[in-house]
Structures are given as C-alpha cells and as structure tokens.
A and B are shown apart, each in its own frame.
Chain A
Amino acid sequence: MSVLSVRDLNVGFAPRGGATRDVVHDVSFDLEAGQCLAVVGESGSGKSVTARALVGLSGPGARVRAGRLDFDGADVRTFTGRDWRRTRGARIGFVAQDALVSLDPLRPVGAEVEEALRLHGWTSRRRRRARAVELLTAVGIPSAGTRAGQRPGELSGGLRQRALIASAIALQPELLIADEPTTALDVTVQAQVLDLLEEQKRQGVAIVLISHDLSVVARLADRVLVVSGGRIVEAGRTADVLDAPQHEYTRALIAAVPGEHTRGERLSPAPRAALPAPRREQRTGVVLRAEGLVKRYATGRGTHTAVDGVSFALRAGRTLGVVGESGSGKSTTARLALALTTPDEGTVELLGRPWSAAPERERRARRREVSVVQQDPLSSFDPRWTVERILLDALPRSSGGDRESRRARVRELLHQVGLGEDVLGRFPLTMSGGQRQRVSIARALAPEPSIVVLDEAVSALDVSVQAQVLDLLADLQRTLGLAYLFISHDLGVVYHVSDDVLVMKDGVVVERGTATDVFEHPREPYTRELVSALPRLGLAAPEETR
C-alpha cells in the first residue's frame, strides 16, 4: 500500500470576496515507502503549494480539493486540526528551505528537537534530552552534546539544516516532505545533507522532495513530477525523465542547466541577439591585474583575514570565474577589484595604471571602466526611480550629448539587453527577476566599461531565466569585447561561462587554471572534493538535450 496516494489535487486561493483562483491543477501521484518523489519546477509553478497542501498547511484562504488524498490508508481530507497535529511531526516530517527562519532563534536546537518528542508523548525529560543528542549525532552534527545547547544563530547553515532534519525525523515518521532542503547550502554541505536524506530513504522513509535543482533531483529521487503553471507536464522515473524528456518544457529546463556539456553552447532556445556594433575600439591584453591582495576585517575576537594573498590577471574579452563556498572571500575579491574597498596589502592595476593605490577622487573619473552587476538587482536600484531614470543616471557625464541623444542611448541599452521600450516608465519593483537583472546589466553597460564584475549575478534566477541571462552575457562579451570577473558559488555556472578559474577557500586561492583543467583534472584535494560533491545531471548527453 502506498504511503501517500493523491488523485486530482487542486489548490486555489480566494482573495477576500473574490473568486477562487487555482494555482495547482489535477495533481496525482502515489508514493511508496523507501521511495523519493521529486516535484520539480520553477518559481511560481505551484510546487511549494502542493507540498504544503499534503501536510494540511495551505494556510487561511486556501481551498484544497482532491479526488483522493490518502496518507497511509487514512483519508486526510477529513482530518481536523487536531488530527493533523497528531500526524505532523510524529508521522509526517517537514523540512523547510531556510533553517534560520524555521527554527526559533531564541531556543537552543536541542530543545527544538526535544519539543517534537515532548508533543508526542515523551514525558521523561532525561530520555528526551538523551534522544535529542542521539538524533543530532545521527544527522552528523559533531559534538552534538555541546551543539544541542546552542541557538540557531550560533550554528552554520549546514548544521542548522541538519538540526532541522533531526527534529523532522525525531519520531521516525513514515513520510518526509522536504521543500528545497539544500537550496541555501554550499555544495559540499549540500552533499552531506543529501547523504542524510538518502540514509532516511534506505531506512524506509518515503520522501517528497520539492526542488528547482535538477541535479539534486537526479541524485535522490526515484520518480519525478515536472510541474509548470500548477500542472504536471511530465512524470516518470528519474532516469527516464532526465535522459529522454518528452515534454518541451522539460527539455528546455534540462538544456538550460549550465555545466560541462554546455560550454560554448547556448542554454536558452532564444535566438542569438542581433547587437549593434560596439561604440568604441576594443581593448586587448590584461585589463585588470591583482597582486598579492590581503584584506583583513576587525571582528570581536581580533582580526579576520577575508582575502589572503590573491593574485590574478583579467584579460579583455575573457571570463575569469571565481568559485568558492560562502566565506571563501570571493565577494571581498570582487569589492577589491571594484575598488569599493582598499586592500591592506597588495595592489590592483586597472589598464596598466594603479587602481587600488589611487586616491578616490582620481578613481572616480576612471570608474566607468569597471562596472558591477550585483546579486539582488532589486535592492541595487533606488526604489523611487523608473528604469529610464536609472539608466539615464548611469550614462557617463563626459559623454555629454543633449537630452534626446541620451534618451536614444538608453533605448539602445535596453535593446542590447533584450528589453522593449515599454519598460522605460516602469519601476523595477513591478518587473520579474529576469527583467530586473537585464536592467542591471544595461546599467553596467551604460558607461561602456572594459570590465564587468558579476557578483553572483545569476544566483537568484530560475534556471530558464538564468539560461537566457547567461546567453545574453555571452553575446555581449563577444560583441563588446568585455572582460568578466564572474563570481559564483555555482560550479556548473562557472564551468559554463569561464575561460579561467580561481578556486577560493578561506580567503586563499587553492587552485587556478583553465576551466577545463580545474574541473576535469583538479589537483588540489579541496577542488576534488568540490567537483565530486557537485551533483551532476550526468545523464543527459548533449544530443538529447538539443
């Protein structure tokens, strides 16, 4: 008998006084013990709403209708709030995306786990405590006895996520619902969390995995549902779906994943943009050179060295990828390249002249040579400004020109990044994530730079949007001869875009070389660990994704 059996699940939301608008349509599936079912889709596809409906957490205003919704033979459609409380935690575990917001910041993580036990009949305080430490150990938290007394804020992201999983599995549930359980994690930590979920599966727990990340799905799931617009567009065994996708949407989704097999190829089905000729002569050779950069920050307990002896040379028309996990110093490196902060030791040279050592007054005039695209485009725009004003403001003053020619230049910039003139009067707040990042790229192009620093520039985007933006960046580089300093935690993306790669760890460059060398023949143990931890699609050969 299936642990979970769902037929024709519809979930809708009714705005106050309005008609119900369905966001999930006719979803059906069965899930056996010891199996993992992945629900894959992009933001807005309804995958999280589906997950929440399965545990009765759709929230007020939601209308859940289903032909059948059975958990372990019991019809949960008839469940009262009380029935749910008895089931959730004890028989169905729920792991949310961000452990920092899911855990009570004032409660030690051990107490969080104990709470789950206490609510379900563990009356002995001593036994609860012992069991909590046992669980924290089981999920791979070192010295769990001490850690149990710490608050979520004192733990790293990976440890927090493991603590959350510990509280979800505390009562050995039959079903685990994991909503983007590894999205906020570094790749090596992600691998550990996936191992942990795999172990649960082996012990007979059924898992519903909600994810946008096909490589995570490939690693853990037995079956996959691909959802788009609230409907299942494809369902099947993981290997079948990823190897030989039937639906157009699934194919586009798989083709959009950057990695080793996509280098030099386009990720999105959109045609190559016809870009206007560059407005000025392209540079050649090394445009930015960093020598022995060191940056220290004062912390409560002395100083922390964020960047320690980093050197690199960035050439015109080339992409230097900087990859590393959180805290590796890659963002500080970006800020040093932009001269937004000055190094404690070492120098940066821009176009053969001192950059980090120059006074800010002198740098200001030369800043147009180095642009930046930040991770979160929305917060990088003044909330009061329209797209037109943002771009007009970014045009260099020295370029002069009357009002009309400046406006024409703004329209040209929009065209370059694939946006229409209709967005001129809009506020970034009312635009989609992909459109915002395009505006951000247009702003970076406005001063006609030689170098663009991209700091996690595609990390917040859905995979198909990310594919379009990466294609756009490739087109722009080819036409304008730009040099990219591409900072990312995502190995697949870095592999896809980079000519050369720096691998950073704890502020130090541990390995450098061409992208192929670093990813195919990693020399350092850390790089090897990183590359091997990278969950691969690995199944989809290029000809099948075309």
Chain B
Amino acid sequence: MSTVLTDAAPGAPRPARTGRPGGRTRRPRPWSVYLATGTALFFLVAVAAPGVLDTTDPLALNLSQALQAPGPGHWFGTDEAGRDLWSRVVHGARPSLAIGAGASAVSLSLAVVLGSLAALGGRVVGPAVDRLVEVLFSFPSLLLALLLVALLGPSALTQAVAVGVGTAPGYARMVRGQVLSARGSAYVEAAVALGHSPARILRRHVLPNALRPLVAIMALSIGQSIVWASSLSFLGLGVAPPSSEWGALLEAGRPYVAHAWWLTVVPGLVIVALALAATTLGNHLQSLLERRES
C-alpha cells in the first residue's frame, strides 16, 4: 500500500528498527536455571510416580539395619526403625508439595480478594480491609499459624490453610498496589473515555494487568510455603508421624541428631534444594515477564 508511511524523512538513512521487536536481545540463561529445572523435574516425578525413584517400601521396617549411615545400600541412610531414608524422602515429596502448593493457593487467593477489596472497596470497605491486613501483618505469621492449628487440629489441610493465611498479608499489599496502579493508568482512562462500563474495565484491564505479576510470585511462594509448612511439622503441628512429609522427617530425626546426623541433615537439605529451585524458577519467570513489558 503506497500510503503507508515510515517515520524517516525521505532520503534519510535510518538504522533499521523493525528487525528487532522491542529491541530485545536474547541472553543466555544462567546455569542455575537449568539446575533448578532439573531439580524441579525430579520432584515432580517423585510426586507423580514415587515408585519410579524409590528403592524399597518407605514404610518397610528392618530393625537389623537401623540407623545406618548413608552408603551404597541406603543412599541417604536408614532411620531408627531401619526404614530407607531415600525412599521416604521420595515418598515425602507428594504431601510436602501438596501442602506447599495448597498453602500458596490459599495465600494468593486470599491476597487477591483482600488486595482488590482494599484498592477498589471505596471509602468504607477499602480502609477497613487495609486495617485488617495491617493487623494480620503485625501478627507473627508462625503465631497465626499456630493459632489456626490449635483451633482446627493438626492435619495436612489445616497446615496448608494456616501457612496460607500466615503469608497472605504480604501478597495482599502487593496486589493492592498493582490494582491501584492499573486503575490509575492511561489505558484505563482511555477505556473510560470510550464509554466502557466499570465492570468491563475491571474485567478486561484492571484485574488482568494487576494479577499478571502473580504468576511468577506463585512459584516463589510455593518454595516459601514448603519451608513454613515444614516448620509447623517440625513443631509437631503438621501431619501425623508415619507420613514422610519432610518437616515430619526432620522432627522424627531430632532425637538422634547427636549420632545419626543424616536423619535431620538430609531432609533439611532436600527442603533447601526445593525452595531454592522454586525461587530460582520464580525469579527467572519474573524477569522474563518484566522484559516483555519494558
């Protein structure tokens, strides 16, 4: 079409601009991302099909092999009842990750509701929700979780809810800020000027733009939630002992810490590895999204 114009004045040589969309350059991914992806894949297999990775039944007792140090037969050693720690860790992935994912789902849902209400609730609801979030904030998260466990009794579900509620206020703050900035943006003003209804603007512009950063935050929050959930289990406020949930494993190994270090160190390292992997992936995802936006 001959009427298509470019920005260049005629005869003016101009560096080509069209070739690179948005001027982005592809940067090599850091090795940590590959490592984190590998770790995450391993845990996902452990969740989906623990039978592929385990060496024995995680609950099989064998008192003759009790408290063996890590070695060729038992990669992570055995506990006081001769159960294979490697298999227990593998089977523990499912409850641990379920609690972690459940907790972050609870946390983020709550955050979205509270944050949106705080930002959009007008002159009565908004400040009220603000105060509620501040009260929750000033309450130590662990104490809040303890309170909930005390009220509802220890179980995996309680644990997820308790951790979720405990970590929600921070995210609620973030959501509130995001919603406010989207609502004050020029594109929302443009939509108002086009005569779109407030409900449509909220649905089409404000919420999608405000919630987009949460995708990356979700990954970060799973790692954090697992650490929190493990702390509850360690305090004996989580799932009941025969389960191989990692926090419970830590707690079970605590009496033997002096002469069977692996019972506490190994589950601890596993928790650290998963939290690190989740955080690394979350950060990477976030920077990918940000690069798309800037």
Contacts and interface: CB of A to CB of B under 8 A. Distances in A.
Interface of A: 15, 23, 42, 44, 228-231, 233, 247-249, 252-253, 256, 269-271, 273-274, 338, 340, 363-368, 370-372, 374, 376, 379-384, 393-394, 396, 415, 418-420, 427, 429-430, 432-435, 443, 446-447, 462, 464-465, 468
Contact of A44 (B15, B185, B212): B15
Interface stretch (B36-44, B75-83, B119-127, B187-195): B187-195
A418 B208 contact: no
A396 B122 CA distance: 29
A468 B193 contact: no
Contacts of A274: 3
B195 A447 contact: yes
B5 to A, nearest CB: 5
A366 B193 CA distance: 10
B195 A380 contact: no
Interface string B175-191: 00000000001110111
B144 to A, nearest CB: 35
Contact of B190 (A248, A271, A443): A443
Nearest to B187: A382
A410 to B, nearest CB: 14
Given A464-B8, A468-B5, 7 more contacts: A230-B15, A256-B9, A340-B189, A365-B195, A379-B187, A380-B189, A381-B187
B208 A432 contact: no
Contacts of B191: 393
Given A15-B25, A382-B209, A273 B3 contact: yes
B55 to A, nearest CB: 45
26 contacts: A247-B11, A249-B9, A253-B9, A256-B9, A270-B3, A270-B5, A273-B3, A338-B193, A364-B196, A367-B194, A371-B193, A379-B185, A380-B189, A383-B187, A383-B209, A393-B194, A393-B196, A415-B3, A420-B1, A420-B4, A432-B7, A434-B5, A447-B194, A447-B195, A464-B8, A465-B7
B15 A229 contact: yes
Contacts of B13: 228-229, 231
Contacts of A435: 7
Contact of B193 (A23, A367, A382, A420): A367
B194 A229 contact: no
Most buried by B among A15, A229, A376: A229
A380 B186 contact: yes
Given A249-B9, A383-B209, A372 B14 contact: no
Contacts of A364: 195-197
B10 interface: yes
Contacts of B22: 427, 429-430
Nearest to B20: A430
Given A384-B212, A415-B3, A340 B192 contact: yes
Contacts of B74: none
The 9 A-B residue pairs with the shortest CB-CB distance in the complex, in nearest-first order = A367-B195, A229-B13, A464-B9, A380-B186, A252-B9, A379-B186, A248-B11, A430-B21, A434-B7
A247 B12 CA distance: 10
A368 B195 CA distance: 7
B204 interface: yes
Contacts of A393: 191, 194, 196, 204
Given A430-B21, A433-B7, A380 B194 contact: no
Given A15-B25, A252-B10, A418 B5 contact: yes
A229 B12 contact: yes
A372 B195 contact: no
Contacts of B6: 432
B190 A380 contact: yes
Contacts of A233: 12
Nearest to B1: A420
A322 to B, nearest CB: 17
B259 interface: no
Contacts of A271: 3
B17 interface: yes
A372 to B, nearest CB: 5
A247 B205 CA distance: 47
A368 B187 CA distance: 16
A189 B171 CA distance: 46
Most buried by A among B9, B12, B186, B191: B9
A383 B1 CA distance: 28
Contacts of A384: 208-209, 212
Nearest to A17: B28
Contacts of B10: 248-249, 252, 269
A228 B14 CA distance: 7
Nearest to B2: A271
B244 to A, nearest CB: 42
A299 B137 CA distance: 31
Given A376-B186, A379-B187, A370 B7 contact: no
A418 B186 CA distance: 24
Nearest to A464: B9
Contacts of A394: 194
